[in-house]
Amino acid sequence: MLTRLEAGGIVEDVVVDGDLSLSVRFEKCPAGWQASFSLTHPAADDIAIVHRLVAPSLAEARSSVPPAVIYLLGTPVDDATIAD
């Protein structure tokens, strides 16, 4: 996992389900920590799902990203595998 600081936020490349990698931005907000990312499909890369979630701690925000991505991709969460 690659982590870097960009304009006051933490940006990490997260691997989900073994083959999908995406960039996630974590920032402190009034409600805790927010994680934001976008998903595109190779056949329709001009359309994206942009998602933001908020958690009480950075650790919870980090651990919430893979299940959120899996859910948005339409894979049942119980059947998915999540890479560390």
The string of pLDDT tens digits covering residues 32-66 is 999 999 988 777 778 888 999 999 999 999 999 98
For the entire predicted model, the pTM comes to 0.77
- What's the pLDDT at 84? 47
Q: Which of 57, 45, 51 is nearest to 71 (CA)?
A: 51
Q: What pLDDT digit, counting tens, does each position of 25-41 carry? A: 999 999 999 999 998 87
The edge-to-edge listing of strands for the beta sheet with 44-55 is 3-6, 9-16, 20-29, 32-41, 44-55
Give the span between the Cα atoms of 62 and 26, in whole angstroms. 8
Q: With bands split at pLDDT 50, 70 and 90, how would you rate the model's confidence at 81? A: low
69 vs 26: which has the higher pLDDT: 26
